[in-house]
């Protein structure tokens, strides 16, 4: 007896499903109905599709599966931040985070299982990159956090940042396709301008994004504007130097007219000198930008230390005096290892 392997229905294009229905002697518009259930109403079960007749639902069940993510564990921080351990259909685990603030609720989502970039200060680097997340796995993280936002805060999810595990530009096509499902009126209908993709700086992908005319925001994890220093903590800089990054960013700005945000941690004894500040200032002059000075979140394995607050103040005043909007971003969810760079599938049991 041969057993047909059921296909994951969310891997299909709407045209594929239309063909399927026609082959089954049904109308192509069924596919539209099913897609609305899958991507707009986020159905995880064919029986939720109540405007389809029972025989149609049975037909779908025989041929297809839906492979939703499972939020297996949820941890809440003293500051309200929620960290989710998300199990994928093949039992791999990633993390996603809900960050509540006064005016916004942000979902921080993962784009890969593990990461290949080996940034010295980031806990995710300790996890080998296993695979890219699929469109539906990225989408499902947003849906889960959207539900938590309503359930625990009675407020809608407002923002999404691709700052969880992985390098989103190394999973570019799935990230872009997921953002399409998240923003499309046929999907979740969220605003493109509330979405930020953060990259360690893959120059050729920044150029591709500019060519594709993407409308979401771009953030670059800079941390140093001195090549040798940046390479010493971010190996990606060896093949994507600051000059190449600057060229790609100029191209990005020419094409999109969209400001970039630089993320920057100031570490004691590493980038806390006046020359570091001046190097950053110079880099900031390439294109209109904003700077987020991020608080360092210790990851326990390295000897990085947050710089003195006087140094952060100095960074602030030099950048602001030169007309560059600069914010100090306090870390959130640190007590449960949910802050930037702390995602490493570590859960308290
Ligand atoms: N790969 C992408 C997105 C994931 S990291 C990127 O590099 O941008 C999300 C942000 O957290 C990045 O700005 C990263 O530099 C920062 N980060 C990583 N480890 C950190 C740590 N220990 N403390 C503070 N920020 C950290």
Structural domain including 329 reads: 70-336
| Rounded Cα–Cα distance for residues 176 and 157 (Å) | 19
Q: Global pTM? A: 0.95
Residues in the chain, pLDDT under 70: 1-4, 301, 347-349
Structural contact between residues 338 and 346, judged by C-beta atoms closer than 8 angstroms: no
Q: Are residues 50 and 32 in the same domain?
A: yes
pLDDT of res. 14:
97
Q: Are residues 16 and 119 in the same domain?
A: no
DSSP characters over 214-261: --SEEEEE-S-SSHHHHHHH-THHHHS-HHHHHHHHHHHHHHH---EE
Q: Which atom of ligand 1 is least distant from the CA of 223?
A: 15
pLDDT of res. 347:
64
Q: Are residues 212 and 247 in the same domain?
A: yes
pLDDT of res. 5:
83
Q: Are residues 26 and 158 in the same domain?
A: no
Last residue of a domain, one of 18, 39, 65: 65
Q: Are residues 182 and 279 in the same domain?
A: yes
CATH number, position 40? 1.10.150.530
**pLDDT digits over 52-108, tens only?**
999 999 999 999 999 999 999 999 999 999 999 999 999 999 999 999 999 999 999
Q: Which residue's CA is minimally distant from atom 24 of ligand 1? A: 296
* CA of 163 relative to ligand 1 center, distance in Å: 7
Q: Is 121 in the pocket of ligand 1 (CB under 6 A)?
A: yes
Active site residue 95: yes
Q: Are residues 271 and 129 in the same domain?
A: yes
Structural contact between residues 318 and 311, judged by C-beta atoms closer than 8 angstroms: no
pLDDT of res. 349:
45
Q: Is 341 in the pocket of ligand 1 (CB under 6 A)?
A: yes
């Amino acid at each position: 007896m041969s057993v047909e392997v059921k296909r994951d229905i969310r891997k299909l294009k709407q045209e594929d499903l239309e063909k399927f229905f026609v082959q089954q002697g049904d109308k192509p518009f069924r596919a539209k109905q099913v897609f609305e259930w899958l991507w707009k109403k986020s159905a995880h079960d064919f029986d939720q599709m109540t405007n389809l007749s029972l025989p149609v639902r049975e037909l779908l069940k025989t041929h297809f599966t839906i492979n939703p993510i499972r939020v297996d564990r949820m941890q809440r921080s003293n500051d309200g931040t929620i960290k989710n351990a998300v199990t994928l259909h093949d039992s791999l685990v990633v993390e996603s985070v809900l960050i509540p603030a006064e005016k916004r609720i942000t979902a921080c989502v993962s784009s890969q299982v593990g990461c290949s970039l080996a940034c010295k200060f980031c806990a995710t680097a300790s996890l080998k990159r296993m695979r890219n997340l699929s469109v539906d796995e990225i989408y499902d993280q947003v849906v889960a956090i959207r539900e938590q936002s309503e359930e625990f805060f009675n407020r809608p999810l407002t923002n999404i940042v691709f700052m969880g595990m992985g390098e989103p530009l190394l999973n570019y096509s799935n990230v872009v396709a997921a953002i399409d499902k998240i923003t499309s009126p046929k999907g979740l209908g969220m605003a493109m301008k509330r979405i930020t993709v953060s990259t360690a700086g893959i120059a050729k992908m920044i150029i591709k994004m500019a060519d594709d005319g993407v409308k979401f925001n771009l953030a670059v994890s800079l941390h140093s504007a001195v090549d040798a220093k940046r390479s010493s903590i971010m190996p990606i800089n060896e093949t994507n130097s600051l000059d190449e990054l600057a060229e790609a960013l100029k191209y990005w700005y020419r094409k999109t007219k969209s400001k970039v945000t630089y993320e920057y941690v100031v570490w004691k004894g590493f980038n806390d000198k006046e020359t570091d500040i001046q190097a950053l200032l110079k880099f900031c002059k390439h294109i209109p930008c904003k700077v987020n000075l991020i608080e360092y979140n210790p990851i326990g394995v390295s000897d990085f230390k947050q710089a003195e607050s006087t140094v952060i103040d100095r960074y602030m005043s030099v950048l602001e005096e030169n007309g560059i909007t600069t914010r100090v971003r306090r870390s959130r969810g640190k007590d449960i290892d949910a802050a930037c760079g702390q995602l490493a599938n570590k859960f308290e049991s």
